[in-house]
Structure 1
Amino acid sequence: MKIRTLLYIFVLKCIVFCDGVTAKELLFCYEDKNAAPLFLGVDKAIPIDQPDASVEVLSLLDKAIDGVEIKFVRKPWRRCLSDLEFNRVNAVIASYRKGRENVAVYPVDQQGKLRDDYAVSEFSSCLIGRYKFHKEWETREVFQNKAFTIAIPNGYGLNSALKEEPFFIHNTFSKSKAFELLDKGVVQASVDLCQVDGLKVSSYPYEGNNVKPIYPPYETSHGYLVFSKKFYEENNTLSWEIWHWLSKFESAPVYIKYLQTPK
């Protein structure tokens, strides 16, 4: 009886202490479409060379924090969000949308305000066009009936202020197609990522047609690493350790590198 008791205590201790040493698996889901510089490629394969900016950042986090082991899976974006809600994956990178906090845990302070300093990324979008569009845009309030044709690629949108502007919108599947329409003069304007953490950038590939962004940006958004409710409840300390690491890591150079990589 004494031997059995000692054996039971040994097994119990092993469960308690050994489990604390084992790294917690974190299953991260990200979109299976090209959304440079966040994610590259258009299928479910996880690239080995140049694995995407966000994947590179999280891989560095994985190496820096002993208590977590990150695994990656690619799915359609809506599927990632659905799997997060039902705890089939543990984390995604997402901007804030009203109601999304019902299925995901964001880094917030004691008052419930989002901690932007804990975000993975900060991206700003600008209208882009040639010199003529810039001039006409500046005087659009004088010519109330003037309308502009603009190409909006998948994944981009216009904020509430721009939705009131006189635009004829061409929706395109990709950013490259939107840029092609602008280059050929089919549309007068498009949108582009123009700042990363306040640093001015551009991914417009065509030269010699004087297409430039209009500053200041019309929209700035933050990408947060958000956790499923269950993962956060079971790994509260680890979740905050991860967010704290992200707040100290300079991610802008990584995103800019991928933005400037030929695609």
Structure 2
Amino acid sequence: MQVNTLFYIFIFLCIVPINVANAAAKKLLFCYEDKEIAPMFLGAGQEIPTQRPGASADVLRLLDDAVDGVDIEFVRKPWRRCLKDLESNKVNAVIASFREGREQIAVYPMDEDAKPNAQFAISRFGSCLLGRDKFRSQWQSRDKFNTKTFTIAVPSGYGLSAVLKKEPLFVHETVSKENAFELLNKGVVDSSIDICQVDKIKASSYPYSDTDVKALFPPYEFTLGYLVFSHQFYENHPTLSHKMWQWVSEFDSAPIYIDYLNSAKQPQN
């Protein structure tokens, strides 16, 4: 009888710490767009892919495993809904670039000058225009053109669309990056745009290798993505939030993003 009692006590003591640890983990509801945004997030709709969900999703899953006290749960919604729900704390975090005024709904890792600290960015991308030799040569002297001279295919919703419309470019929006690349490959448009640099490493996802299409360096624009929290989540869990930012700053995520970009280079006819 005593042996059985001791056995059950032993089992109880083994199980309780595990349950306490699980109970102590704070659920963090992370929202990202329900459209594919390669290489960050793949797939579309509300389903969360279990395999190859995207580079940013992979990084967050590694963070989830590495940082004690947090349990990340993913949800997909239209981007504006993600931001709206972040403001009301219906979701706790998103990955977003910094825009003036966005700090009113999201907490960024700030430096002493009250600006986002690039050291804590979860992604660092350079975007380049793509084109053939003639386009790349003429683009260097684009200030001489007073009219829209070139055509560029850009995926719908791409963050640079508004900026590019100020250039001597006819902007043709496409349903996907693959469609934009196809139009460039067939000569329907003069240019497209692609991530050409991750941190300081040159990269590309352009799949056609039998053309003279190349990226135009230096990058047209650099974009930093930050893991940002709702104000309520940060106020309730400041130490945990900083632990996650610290992990991001110490983790080399570039190889993961480059792997996804390279995987996108499928052979094309």
TM-score by length of structure 1 reads 0.88
Secondary structure of 2:109's aligned partner: coil
Q: Deviations over 1:121-154 (max 9, x none)?
A: 0011011001111111123344555711111212
- 8 Å CA contact 1:62, 1:70 repeated in 2: yes
- 8 Å CA contact 1:21, 1:67 repeated in 2: no
Which one-letter code corresponds to 2:83 in the other structure?
Answer: L
Cα offset, 1:161, TM superposition = 7.0
Separation in 1, partners of 2:224, 2:159 = 15
Q: Residue 25 of structure 1 corresponds to which residue in structure 2?
A: 27
Separation in 2, partners of 1:69, 1:143 = 54
Secondary structure of 1:105's aligned partner: coil
Cα offset, 1:155, TM superposition = 3.5
Which one-letter code corresponds to 2:237 in the other structure?
Answer: N
Q: Residue 84 of structure 1 corresponds to which residue in structure 2?
A: 86
Which of 234, 237, 240 matches 2:239? 237
- 8 Å CA contact 2:154, 2:161 repeated in 1: no
Q: Residue 9 of structure 1 corresponds to which residue in structure 2?
A: none
User: In 2 relative to 1, CA 172–161 (structure 1 residues): closer, same or farther, beyond 3 Å?
Assistant: closer
223-232 vs 160-169, which moves further:
160-169
- 8 Å CA contact 2:154, 2:174 repeated in 1: yes
Runs (4+) of structure 1 exceeding 2 A deviation are: 18-21, 138-146, 154-165
Residue 252, structure 1, aligned to residue 251, structure 2:
no
Cα offset, 1:164, TM superposition = 3.5
Q: Deviations over 1:32-88 (max 9, x none)?
A: 111111000012111111121111111111111111111111111111111101110
User: In 2 relative to 1, CA 82–197 (structure 1 residues): closer, same or farther, beyond 3 Å?
Assistant: same
Which of 119, 132, 135 matches 1:133? 135
Cα RMSD (Å): 2.0
Which one-letter code corresponds to 2:28 in the other structure?
Answer: L
Secondary structure of 1:125's aligned partner: strand
Residue 48, structure 1, aligned to residue 50, structure 2:
yes
Separation in 1, partners of 2:159, 2:23 = 45
Q: Residue 192 of structure 1 corresponds to which residue in structure 2?
A: 194
Which one-letter code corresponds to 1:153 in the other structure?
Answer: P
Q: Deviations over 1:204-224 (max 9, x none)?
A: 111211110100011001000
Separation in 2, partners of 1:85, 1:157 = 21
Aligned residue pairs: how many? 246
Question: Tell me, which stretches of 5 or more residues in structure 1 are unaligned?
Answer: 1-17
User: In 2 relative to 1, CA 84–115 (structure 1 residues): closer, same or farther, beyond 3 Å?
Assistant: same
Q: Residue 104 of structure 1 corresponds to which residue in structure 2?
A: 106
Q: Residue 168 of structure 1 corresponds to which residue in structure 2?
A: 170
Separation in 2, partners of 1:116, 1:33 = 26
Which one-letter code corresponds to 2:224 in the other structure?
Answer: H
Cα offset, 1:89, TM superposition = 0.5
Q: Residue 59 of structure 1 corresponds to which residue in structure 2?
A: 61
Structural mapping, 1:221-236, within 5 Å: 221-236=223-238
Q: Deviations over 1:175-208 (max 9, x none)?
A: 1111111111111011111101121111111121
- 8 Å CA contact 1:117, 1:247 repeated in 2: yes
User: In 2 relative to 1, CA 132–109 (structure 1 residues): closer, same or farther, beyond 3 Å?
Assistant: same
Residue 208, structure 1, aligned to residue 210, structure 2:
yes
Residue 183, structure 1, aligned to residue 185, structure 2:
yes
Secondary structure of 1:71's aligned partner: strand
Secondary structure of 2:72's aligned partner: strand
Separation in 2, partners of 1:160, 1:44 = 27
Separation in 1, partners of 2:61, 2:221 = 29
TM-score by length of structure 2 reads 0.86
Q: Deviations over 1:222-260 (max 9, x none)?
A: 000000010000001110111001000000011111112
Which one-letter code corresponds to 2:183 in the other structure?
Answer: L
